[in-house]
Chain A
């Protein structure tokens, strides 16, 4: 035998076909405290954590069709943490009775050279923002309560301006495709937050205009 046979194992590894189940809502700053209080009670017994992230949204325009969107995010509070590169697919139409928005999702942890690399690949930054808030966990569910600020001077995360007087609340679960029981859990969790906040499935593609 001269050379070993090529490709005895598939090289593409990683987690294929992960889905994000998402519910969104917003809460006025005035009611934020009571929502956080409620979440502290409902979620897993962990120290509540705050975060400050900087997200850059990149577009790759092809010859035809929609541009390819990638989201690159880094933590400002943990500067040594790896960057997070995220691809989010179109929301699945499928089952109307499903309680949560379901979309394909690829999460990549990447080194700090990510912006340069994306530029080299042909991506161009579309917009950026800074988001900060609280993160909670309940089993596989993640609850992020955050405010969104626009970056006034490109690249300068110090100089920002709040977008609104309310906080964005996202309840999300990452799961392999076809695990619709997840959305059931999410719904019942969202029920428990009901008078404070109504979490709904919001299709971002229909919100464009």
Chain B
């Protein structure tokens, strides 16, 4: 308790004359110094008559202390209550009381001397002297301890009070700090005694009419006694009820039309993501609400466009779903999924095992396009220059004096809507994935000419390209005739052939498949041609589109005839996409025994002519693929040097 520093007190002698009073002007009136007689009276008053000489007292009775106390009290009483009439009055009183006492003493002593009425007994002094101090010590110790304890308690109380106060203060301060932080990230304004904030994207250029206001609530009435929860925040926000929960836009493509009863009930909810550490709970809440707002805006915009845009197959807007048919038999559905509470999400969970058919790319693009739209809105409203000119679209102002024509003006006025863009993107995505599947299925189904697809990594949202190579295994170096560049657009696929031909295919899957099949069949014949060059054979004829023979349902058959280096043999190959290949070998006449007799060619020189054809049983030929078989056949027909 005496922890504080020792206090230093400086004492200064008072001035010799006593100050009686100080005037308002500051002049001091002194008490006049005492005269000689007054001084003597004063000194005489100081004489303590009760304090007699020790010898006299000791010689007296054994109870001097008691008597003395009593006397003093008596004396004090007189001094206090009887105002002194004259200077020696107190002296006289003292002398008188001393006399009284002396008389009493004298009487007592004379009574004791008689021994008739009174006897003096020795008082056991040790006992009382030994006992009383101990009890007294105990009591005093107890007392002092009690006061010390009381002091300590008082201090503790004070401390705890100040701590609580501090906490309260800090919470208050925390609220303000939080508010400041909130203010730095969100638009706030004060309406009456409320603090309202703005969630909407209006300042970013949105035209969505939702007010998007939230209210800032002070959350300081938490019970101090209980443990403060970890995520406690003195600031809370209240968002409009229709923006609560989480929402997202779901875009998916379905191949067959679902039951009409199912429409509009797509409810697949993702669990709200755990908030990252370090972010404020209100921030998470506000961001979620803002996301809901943006999703709602996107959906509202899409629905409006879906109703306005006239298309061959009208877009259907049912509840929270927009359904459009980009291609026949294909359905693009865009739905707004908004989960407001835990209850619904748990109900939707049994449906979860459904395959995840989200088109995340499109969902992302929708958000991006919406923001682009916002930006466009914002940047189109600019200040006029010169300043006197009226407000308006900056570029429309240019339209008059710059004589913009209709096309330029319509460019300025309206860009493509969100829905149109997203449908186009969906078409492209669908076309791309189906093209990939077509190529892959062909590659896995057909082994002999191999088909390879090289997809480019970087695509436009409306266009991507793939390079398709058709090769034969083991002969990649010599058979490079078919290289196709497929540019996949929105509605169609443009095929750029190696020789520069451009073929436009529609979105129908069959068209691409047929085209690739015919290319593969042509490849075989091209491969024979290349092989002949390597083997030293001569190409006698070559045709990509043969006009003879059975009519193919897909494309045309192609054919080639090659002659052996010495001209004795000739191989003819006809390959059709459907009919398959037919290989015929022509032998020299000389090798044929049962040559029918002819009247015309009888001379031996005609023996050098080639004779009839014989078909090769191609499937029985050895070799792992067509070109290998052909190589073997050519080798077999080439005479050894």
User: Within 8 Å by CB, do A and B touch in the complex?
Assistant: yes
Q: Determine if A84 and B388 form an interchain contact, defined as CB atoms under 8 angstroms apart.
A: yes
From B381, B386, B400, B402, name the one whose CB has the most chain A CB atoms within 10 angstroms. Answer: B386
Contact A109 B397 (CB under 8 A): yes
Provided the pairs A109-B400, A109-B401, A111-B401 are in contact, do residues A144 and B387 lie with their beta carbons within 8 angstroms? yes
Decide: B400 and A86 in contact? CB cutoff 8 A: no
Contact among A46, A140, A146 with B387 in the assembled complex (CB-CB below 8 Å): A146
A82 with B400: CB separation less than 8 A: yes
Contact A74 B402 (CB under 8 A): no
Taking CB atoms and an 8 Å cut-off, the chain A residues in 129-176 that contact chain B are 131, 133, 135, 137, 140, 142, 144, 146, 174
CB distance from A132 to the nearest CB of B (A): 9
CA distance A107 to B384 in the complex (A): 12
Distance A174 CA – B390 CA, assembled complex (angstroms) = 7
Contact among B203, B383, B389 with A109 in the assembled complex (CB-CB below 8 Å): B389
Chain B interface residue number, banded: 10 to 19
Interface string of A98-116 (1 = CB under 8 A from B): 0000000001111100000
Interface membership of A75, Cβ < 8 A: yes
Q: Chain B, 5-27, contact with A by CB distance < 8 Å: what is the 0/1 string?
A: 00000000000000000000000
Indicate if B398 sits at the interface (CB-CB under 8 A).
yes
Min distance, Cβ A105 to any Cβ of chain B, angstroms: 9
**Complex Cα spacing A174 to B388, Å:** 11
- Among B388, B391, B400, the most chain A Cβ lie within 10 Å of the Cβ of B388
Which B residues touch A137, using CB under 8 A? 383, 391
**How many CB-defined contacts (below 8 Å) exist between A and B?**
66
Q: Which residue of B lies closest to A105 (CB)?
A: B390
Contact with A along B387-417 (1 / 0, CB 8 A): 1111100000110111000000000000000
Cβ of B385 < 8 Å from any Cβ of A?
A: yes
Closest B residue to A114 using CB positions: B401
How close is A200's CB to chain B, nearest CB, in angstroms? 20
Contacts A53-B386, A73-B386, A75-B385 given; does A82 touch B398 at CB 8 Å: yes
Give, as a whole number of angstroms, the nearest-CB distance from B205 to chain A: 11
Task: Please tell me if A28 contacts chain B, counting CB pairs below 8 Å.
Answer: no
A82-B397, A82-B398, A82-B402 given as contacts; is B390 within 8 A of A107 (CB)?
yes
User: Please, how many angstroms separate the alpha-carbon atoms of A174 and B402 in the complex?
Assistant: 23
Instruction: Report Cα–Cα, A137/B390, bound state, in Å.
Output: 11
Q: A82-B401, A110-B401, A111-B401 are in contact. Are A53 and B387 (CB under 8 A)?
A: yes
Residue in A53, A55, A73, A142 whose beta carbon sits within 8 Å of that of B391 in the complex: A142
Q: Closest approach, in angstroms, between the C-beta of A82 and any C-beta of chain B?
A: 4
Q: Are A107 and B389 CB-contacts (below 8 A) given A82-B402, A83-B401? A: yes
B383–A135 touching, CB < 8 Å: yes
Say yes or no: B383 contacts A51, CB within 8 Å: yes
When C-beta atoms are compared, the residue in chain B nearest to A54 turns out to be B386
A51 to chain B, nearest CB (A): 5
Closest CB in chain B relative to A121 CB, distance in Å = 17
Any B CB within 8 A of the CB of A202: no
Within 8 A of A (CB), among B551-605: none
Q: Cβ of A86: which chain B residues have Cβ within 8 Å of it?
A: 388
Q: A133 to chain B: which residues have CB within 8 Å?
A: 387
Q: Determine the distance from Cα of A131 to Cα of B386 in the docked complex, in whole angstroms.
A: 10
Q: Compute how far the CA of A133 lies from the CA of B385 in the bound complex, rounded to whole angstroms.
A: 12
Besides A53-B386, A110-B400, A135-B384, 4 more A-B contacts (Cβ < 8 Å) are: A73-B388, A75-B387, A109-B398, A137-B391
A-B contacts, 7 listed (Cβ < 8 Å): A51-B383, A55-B388, A73-B388, A77-B385, A82-B400, A84-B389, A110-B400
Partner-B contacts on A (CB < 8 A): 45-46, 49, 51, 53, 55, 71, 73-75, 77-78, 81-84, 86, 107-111, 131, 133, 135, 137, 140, 142, 144, 146, 174
